[in-house]
Structure formats: C-alpha cells, structure tokens
Amino acid sequence: MSTLQHRYQAIRHRIRQACEQANRNEDEVRLLAVSKTKPADMVQTCYAQGQRSFGENYLQDGIEKVESLQNLQGIEWHFIGPLQSNKTRAVATHFHWLETLDRIKIARRLDEQRPPELPPLNVLIQVNISGEEQKAGVALDQVSDFADEIQRLERLNLRGLMCIPEAVDLQSPAGVTTLKQQFDQMKQLFDQLRLTCPQVDTLSMGMSADLELAIAAGSTEVRIGTDIFGARSPRQEQRDTS
C-alpha cells in the first residue's frame, strides 16, 4: 500500500474507533476527504479505496478536478471555501454541496443559477460558533431566521450546519473545554433546526486534530485534509485569482 492508502485507512480506523467510543454507528459519520490543492490522481486513489465525498476550497483548482474526474460514478463534491457572490455560478454548476453558506444574497444567486437538469444544491449554513469578529458564518441567534429564508428557495436543499471552531490548544484542559462547549452548542442548534426542517441531517464539524471530540458531540461529517493527503505547501494555499 502507498502512504496515501495507509493514511486513508488510518483515518477510517480513527473514525470507527471514535464511533465505538461514542456508542454510535460508523455509518452515521461521513468522511469528507479535503483534497484542496492536491492532484486529481490522489483523489482517484482514495476513490479506489471506497471514498466518495471530497471537499474543495479553491474554485479553479476544484473545478478542474470535478471536470477531469466526471467518469467516477457516485463521486460527490463539496465546496467548503469562502465564496464571493460573483463566483456563485461555478459552484451552482459543478458541485453537489456548498458548506459555507452565510449570506442570503449568495443563497439567492445559487438558487437562480442551479441548472434545471441537476437536483437542488445541498447547502449547509456556516455558523460562527466562536463569535470571533473576523470569522465567516452566521451568528448563533440568526441561524433560525436564515434557515427559514433558505427553505423558501426551491433550488437549494438545506441539509444542516457547519462550523470551524476557534483554534484552541488541545494540549490544555481549558482548550478542550472550550472546544467541547462549541461542539455541544452546535449539536443543540442542529437538534433545534431538525424540529422545523425534517430534511436536515448533516452536522459538519471536526477536523484532523479534534474528530474524536466532534464525533462524541454528535457530528455527522468530519472534514479531513492533511492527515489523508499530506501537508500543503504555502504556495499551493494561495487563493485563486481566477
């Protein structure tokens, strides 16, 4: 097995163990393999191991992979990066999911631009769970109103919530406590939303360092990049200019 195959199997193993620890069924938690900046052949290797859901942050880089891997049956692409309103069409036409929806203007544009031959675009509301000012995402107390607005858009299918919590030091008990509180708040919000939106089934939280905590708190999707595909170089991380 290659390094990539080993890493992929190691993450699957961690998810399985985290589910066992939390008394949850492994198939309740989707692994989103975050392939941003990585070449299409690495996506293909993961696909051959059974992986189907892939996450991309940068539009041009993502679209090239979506197009070159069109022949892979059942592959599912999630856009998880910041989205400017003049770039919505590319997401509406190429992706199955958008996980970072936080503005009604973007939602309306996606609704208009989603091609009629495709099923509605699955969307997650990004929640600014840490309340940090510079952070993307809808404030906690705005989520319910925003969800109501999205539900009126026929070409969008509201599937749930996503968050990127505060960067804490997981070596310190205080850091762990902060993170757990934020995950628990997300789970509460998710449960509330499900009362009024029965199609909601996805809570996207947890990354490489904290997937166990996220799964214990009720996450249904963890987003893992580096621990599967290896580190990204700073140059690769530079933002799209297209």
Residues that bind ligand PLP (CB under 6 A): 34, 36, 57, 80, 164, 207-208, 223-227
How many residues in the chain? 242
Cβ within 8 Å of residue 57, ≥6 positions away: 34, 36, 79, 80, 81
Exposed, middle or buried by CB within 10 Å (0-12, 13-18, 19+), for 4? middle
Residue 95 CB, nearest approach to ligand PLP (Å): 14
Residue 110 CB, nearest approach to ligand PLP (Å): 18
Residue 57 CB, nearest approach to ligand PLP (Å): 5
State which residue, 90 or 124, has the beta carbon closest to ligand PLP: 124
State which residue, 40 or 207, has the beta carbon closest to ligand PLP: 207
Amino acid at 139: A
Cβ within 8 Å of residue 143, ≥6 positions away: 125, 127, 161, 189, 193
Instruction: Find, among 83, 75, 29, the residue nearest to 58 by Cα.
Output: 83
State which residue, 75 or 224, has the beta carbon closest to ligand PLP: 224
Residue 214 CB, nearest approach to ligand PLP (Å): 11
Residue 160 CB, nearest approach to ligand PLP (Å): 15
CB hemisphere CA count around 79 (13 angstroms): 29
State which residue, 37 or 88, has the beta carbon closest to ligand PLP: 37
State which residue, 206 or 218, has the beta carbon closest to ligand PLP: 206
Residue that has been written with the tokens 């599967």 in this structure:
228
What gap in Å lies between CA 59 and CA 83, rounded to an integer?
Answer: 9
Q: Is residue 57 helix, strand or coil?
A: coil
